[in-house]
């Protein structure tokens, strides 16, 4: 479940004006009321998120590092009691979409500016691992934490990579690997959609392409891309219901046959990686699906 009280103020966010024309002031009668409810703010945050998938924007300038933005994700990986891998990936995905759809993202301010500036560039995510007090120190920064089973992760407001706060930037990117211990023996090419007979859940699901051999950190970023795609493909009514569950979802790492079958399903949201790390450009890394019905 997601932390219901994300920080209201971002002291580290880049306050450059957002260029994606997503502010409530530009929407006339479609804007939320002067004193919107939390639900209305979540719906407005969802509207802003969907804008990025309706246009082909890339505000990155390779010659200007300050235009290269990323959402930091910190994975809580205690050495003595490491979390289950599939639950850690799910916690990261839940935290990411909860950060994007937090009430603060539905009103003009530092939170929405940080997100909208990131939406207008390449939507990078960088996952790092934390142990013990490292996670607690990082969690002092604005963001949203989420728990899934034995696992906990926190997604932070996107920022230019050179401005990543020290409590996060000093954490290691490497070493974010865990063995896959999820039992997916019940899955077949006929029951990949949640809610179908034979599927053990009615929650949204993100399938990860296990044949690529991604580390847990890389897979967590791909699962988080998947949760954003799920949000973008949803109706406002679906988002309200999903938010009430803390954006609960499942992440399943599956072999090539099942992954290919999932990618061919109606309304499947597929993630294609740009290949900056670990895998070849153009690799299909994840498929996200809403439940049947």
Distance CA 271, CA 286 (A): 5
Closest of 120, 130, 70 to residue 276, by C-alpha:
70
Q: Where are the domains of the chain?
A: 24-289
Q: According to the model, what pLDDT value does residue 55 have? A: 67
Please name the fold of domain 24-289.
Bit1 (3.40.1490)
Return the number of other C-beta atoms located less than 10 Å from residue 153's C-beta. Answer: 32
Q: What are the tokens at 22? A: 């997503």
User: Please, are residues 145 and 95 in contact by the beta-carbon 8 Å criterion?
Assistant: yes
Distance CA 249, CA 227 (A): 8
Q: Residue 132, Cα to own-chain centre: how many angstroms?
A: 23
* Position 163 confidence tier, pLDDT thresholds 50, 70, 90: very high
Q: Is 233 helix (H, G, I), strand (E, B) or coil?
A: coil
Question: Minimum mean pLDDT among 11-20, 54-63, 85-94, 223-232: which range?
Answer: 11-20
Higher pLDDT, 23 or 186: 186
pLDDT in tens, 15-28: 344 545 555 444 44
The pTM (predicted TM-score) of the whole model is 0.88
Is 90 exceeded by the pLDDT of residue 261? yes
Is 70 exceeded by the pLDDT of residue 60? yes
Distance CA 106, CA 126 (A): 24
Closest of 40, 118, 38 to residue 73, by C-alpha:
118
pLDDT in tens, 203-244: 999 999 999 999 999 999 999 999 999 999 999 999 999 999
pLDDT in tens, 116-134: 999 977 889 999 999 989 9
Element (H, E) at 141: none
Closest of 66, 51, 126, 68 to residue 96, by C-alpha:
126
Q: How many CA atoms lie within 13 A of 117 on its CB side?
A: 24
């Amino acid at each position: 479940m997601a932390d219901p009280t994300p920080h209201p103020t971002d002291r580290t966010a880049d306050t450059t004006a957002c260029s994606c024309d997503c502010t409530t002031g530009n929407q006339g009668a479609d804007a939320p009321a002067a004193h919107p409810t939390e639900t209305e703010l979540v719906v407005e945050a969802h509207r802003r998120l969907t804008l990025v998938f309706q246009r082909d924007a890339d505000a990155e300038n390779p010659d200007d590092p300050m235009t290269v933005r990323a959402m930091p994700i910190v994975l809580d990986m205690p050495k003595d009691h490491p979390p289950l891998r599939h639950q850690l990936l799910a916690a990261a995905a839940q935290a990411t979409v909860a950060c994007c759809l937090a009430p603060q993202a539905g009103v003009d301010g530092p939170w929405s500016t940080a997100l909208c500036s990131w939406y207008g560039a390449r939507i990078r995510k960088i996952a790092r691992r934390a142990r013990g007090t490292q996670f607690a120190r990082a969690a002092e920064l604005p963001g949203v934490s989420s728990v899934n089973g034995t696992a906990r992760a926190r997604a932070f407001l996107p920022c230019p990579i050179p401005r990543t706060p020290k409590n996060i930037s000093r954490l290691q990117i490497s070493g974010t690997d865990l063995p896959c211990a999820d039992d997916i023996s019940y899955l077949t090419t006929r029951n990949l959609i949640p809610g179908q007979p034979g599927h053990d859940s009615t929650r949204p699901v993100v399938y990860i392409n296990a044949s690529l051999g991604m580390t847990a950190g890389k897979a967590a970023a791909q699962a988080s891309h998947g949760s954003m795609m799920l949000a973008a493909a949803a109706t406002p009514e679906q988002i309200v219901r999903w938010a009430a569950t803390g954006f609960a979802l499942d992440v399943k790492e599956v072999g090539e046959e099942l992954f290919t079958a999932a990618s061919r399903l109606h309304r499947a949201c597929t993630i294609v990686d740009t290949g900056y790390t670990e895998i070849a450009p153009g690799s299909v890394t994840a498929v996200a699906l809403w439940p049947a019905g």
